[in-house]
Amino acid sequence: AQKVTQAQTEISVVEKEDVTLDCVYETRDTTYYLFWYKQPPSGELVFLIRRNSFDEQNEISGRYSWNFQKSTSSFNFTITASQVVDSAVYFCALSSFNAGNNRKLIWGLGTSLAVNP
């Protein structure tokens, strides 16, 4: 069965601290995609990154970085020098095939990040 676990329900940090959001996944597929989305208070989910299962290179985008490790089935997300605007709920998701051979997204329950001034 496919599953995404975000063990951290809520995290609170002070501005300028670094913070890492954990994501552990389970899948039997050999080809799959992993995603991170951000959901600010306004409600709409914002795409942050997609990583396919064959690309284990870490990625950095400004203050954001992602660490993908197939050996531990983890796809962790780090925000460096956090800012108040980073306050949101962050979701990790796994794209996997269902019984009908259609791809669908399986979501973690999200981590609520509060960055305090």
Partner 1 sequence: KAGVTQTPRYLIKTRGQQVTLSCSPISGHRSVSWYQQTPGQGLQFLFEYFSETQRNKGNFPGRFSGRQFSNSRSEMNVSTLELGDSALYLCASSEGQGKEKLFFGSGTQLSVL
List contacts with partner 1 (CB under 8 A): 33, 35, 37, 42-47, 50, 91, 93, 95, 98, 100, 102-105, 107-110
Answer whether 77's CB lies under 8 Å from 20's CB.
Answer: yes
What is the closest distance, in whole angstroms, from the C-beta atom of residue 6 to partner 1 in the complex?
9
Smaller CB separation from partner 1, 24 or 45: 45
Answer whether 79's CB lies under 8 Å from 63's CB.
Answer: yes
Smaller CB separation from partner 1, 44 or 85: 44
What is the closest distance, in whole angstroms, from the C-beta atom of residue 54 to partner 1 in the complex?
15
What is the closest distance, in whole angstroms, from the C-beta atom of residue 106 to partner 1 in the complex?
8
Smaller CB separation from partner 1, 93 or 115: 93
What is the rounded CA–CA span in Å between residue 39 and residue 74?
Answer: 21
What is the closest distance, in whole angstroms, from the C-beta atom of residue 77 to partner 1 in the complex?
17
Smaller CB separation from partner 1, 71 or 102: 102
Residue 23: which of 7, 2, 10, 47 has the closest Cα? 7
Computed on alpha carbons and rounded to an integer, the radius of gyration of the chain in Å comes to 14
Q: How far is CA 10 from CA 31, 54, 98, 99, in A?
A: 30, 30, 30, 33
